[in-house]
Structure 1
Amino acid sequence: MTMLPSTIWAPRILSVLRIVVGLILLQYGSAKLFGWPAVGIFENLKWSSLFGIAGFFELAGGTLLILGLFTRPAAFVLSGEMASAFFIEHFPRSFFPVQSDGDLAVALCFTFLYLAFAGGGPWSLDAMFAAGKLDTAAQTGR
């Protein structure tokens, strides 16, 4: 059985991970701020509430992650948001995420922390800017 070289696939899967967690986060921000998709606990949510402010972070951060734009700083901020979410919302119920329903907050916290150090991968606007591809295209008009 031949194994695929990890050097080929690991960077691409990093980009896939970034896009998928960005989409997950985007749906939470959209549900909190716009009521879509409809989630009962976010009905009549005030944008100035703690959940509303978190929704802004999730909407903006999710969009940045999907695009792979400013991935490292966005992921770092989002990691802090998820840590705050765990300690504010879940930790008072139990230290153990399985008992406090804080599993997703913890998993996303450490996923975002990883992305803050690993970057967005090759399929990101960050990588395109670093390679100079977008700058060259803008200068030549292509």
Structure 2
Amino acid sequence: MTEPFPARLAPHVLSLLRIVTALLFLEHGLSRLFGWPSPIPTPPLFTMYWFAGAIELAGGMLLTLGLFSRAAALIMSGEMAFAYFLSHAPHGFFPILNRGDGAILYCFVFFYIAFAGPGPWSLDAVMSSARGSRGAMQPAA
């Protein structure tokens, strides 16, 4: 029996979710470290906010490409959990009041991607496919 139409699209929608979320996250890193597209003051080198920007920039690029996706997503999820409890939670319990809903959403989307994988539109999938086809062509020992 063939899969229903929505189920067949699910892996591609996962790739789309990964790409869009990563591009939005990348925007935060670019703003924090380079003042573009939003002119956020660049933090001093090797401070907590500089490391946050570095994770947002590098992780956003890696996840957009789908390269080392699970590791990058797990690190980015951790950064967002850390950011929530450090910067948002002290201002109140409810995320709508402490303005932490974005951090929570990023945290759990990245956490999901760390376990679900990047989907078929990723360099990880291309490399996995290349390894699989290379292994199939080698003679048995």
TM-score range, shorter chain: 0.7 to 0.9
Amino acid at match of 1:115: I
Amino acid at match of 1:31: S
Which residues of 2 match residues 1-142 of structure 1 at below 5 A?
5-39=5-39, 42-132=40-130
The aligned counterpart of 2:139 is none
TM-score, normalised by the number of residues in structure 1: 0.86
Query: How much has 1:127 moved relative to structure 2?
Result: 0.6
Query: How much has 1:51 moved relative to structure 2?
Result: 1.4
Same amino acid, percent of matched pairs: 48
The aligned counterpart of 2:138 is none
Amino acid at match of 2:36: W
Query: How much has 1:44 moved relative to structure 2?
Result: 4.3
TM-score, normalised by the number of residues in structure 2: 0.87
CA RMSD after TM alignment: 1.7
Query: Hey, what's the Cα distance between the residues in 1 that align with 2:25 and 2:17?
Result: 12
Query: Hey, what's the Cα distance between the residues in 2 that align with 1:46 and 1:95?
Result: 30
Query: Hey, what's the Cα distance between the residues in 2 that align with 1:35 and 1:53?
Result: 15
Equivalent pairs counted in the alignment come to 131
Query: Hey, what's the Cα distance between the residues in 2 that align with 1:27 and 1:73?
Result: 20
DSSP 3-state at the match of 1:132 = helix
Structure 2: give runs of 5+ residues left out of the alignment: 135-141
DSSP 3-state at the match of 1:85 = helix
Query: Hey, what's the Cα distance between the residues in 1 that align with 2:110 and 2:92?
Result: 23
DSSP 3-state at the match of 2:91 = coil
Query: Hey, what's the Cα distance between the residues in 1 that align with 2:76 and 2:112?
Result: 11
Structure 1 segments, 4+ long, off by >6 Å, are none
Query: Hey, what's the Cα distance between the residues in 2 that align with 1:109 and 1:44?
Result: 23
